[in-house]
Amino acid sequence: HRLDRTDGTLELLYERALSSDDFGEGLAVLNDTLYQLTWKAGRVHRYDLSGKEPSPLEPLRNDREGWGLTTDGHSLIASDGSAFLAFRSAKDFSVEKTIVVRFQGKAIDRLNELEWIDGKIWANVWKTPFIVVVDAETGDVTSVIDCGSLVEDARASNPDIDVLNGIAWDTLNRELYLTGKLWPWVYRVVLDRKTPPEGKFGFTSL
C-alpha cells in the first residue's frame, strides 16, 4: 500500500497470496528486494522490486520463527518472539550477529514488529502497549514509548482490535506511523519527549 499523507487514504499497489501453510509476518526492503518472513514455515519470501511490478525470487530458509523484520541498510534484522535480535545476511539469511535486548539489566522478550529509525531499532513488545527503542550495538533499551492512548482510541472504534504491532518511519518527511492488528486507523504520531518517572512502564512484570 501507499499512504496519501494529505487525506490518509491507502492505495493498493500490489498483492500476492501466500500458500495456506504460510503465515505472513515482518517485511523489509533492502537493495531493491522485498523480504517477507513467515511465522513458522521457515521461509523468507523475496521479491525483486527493480521492475514495474514485484517479481518473486527463490525463498530463503529461516531457522527460527519469523516475527518482525527491518534493515540497517546493510543487514536484515529479525525478531523471533524472544529477547534476541538477529542481524542476518541479505544473501542467504545466515546469522551475522545477535544482540540481547535489555531494560535496566533485564532481558525483554516477546519482541515483535521492528523498524530502523535514526540508527536505533524500534520494537513492539507483544501483548503490551509499549515500544522499546534499542541501541543496535549493545541491545540496551534507551527509551520506552507508551502507546496506551492509541490502543484506547483504536478500541473505541473497534472493540475487537488485537495487539499494537505496526511501526513505519517516513525517512523523507521524518514522520512516524503506528497501527495494529485489526486496527481501523493508522496513526501519524508526534512523540512527547518528556522523560517519565523511572519504573513507570512496569517491565519487571514482563
Question: Tens of pLDDT along 145-204?
Answer: 999 999 999 999 989 999 999 999 999 888 899 999 999 989 998 776 554 444 344 433
Q: What's the alpha-carbon Rg for the chain, to the nearest Å?
A: 17
Q: DSSP assignment of 153-164, as one string? A: HHHHH-TT---E
Q: By three-state DSSP, how is residue 203 classified?
A: helix
As a whole number of angstroms, the distance between CA 149 and CA 27 comes to 26
Q: Provide the CA 107 distance to its chain's centre, in angstroms.
A: 19
Q: By three-state DSSP, how is residue 111 classified?
A: strand
**Mean pLDDT over all residues of the chain?**
90
Residue ranges covered by each domain of the chain: 2-192
As a whole number of angstroms, the distance between CA 198 and CA 153 comes to 26
Q: What is the CATH number of domain 2-192?
A: 2.130.10.10
pTM of the entire predicted model? 0.91
What distances in angstroms separate CA 46 from CA 34, 54, 151, one per listed residue? 6, 9, 32
Q: What was the pLDDT predicted at 193?
A: 59
Question: Tens of pLDDT along 112-139?
Answer: 999 999 999 999 999 999 999 999 999 9
Q: What was the pLDDT predicted at 192?
A: 63
DSSP 110: -
Q: What was the pLDDT predicted at 41?
A: 96
As a whole number of angstroms, the distance between CA 10 and CA 12 comes to 7
Least Cα distance to 81 among 66, 95, 70, 71 occurs for: 66
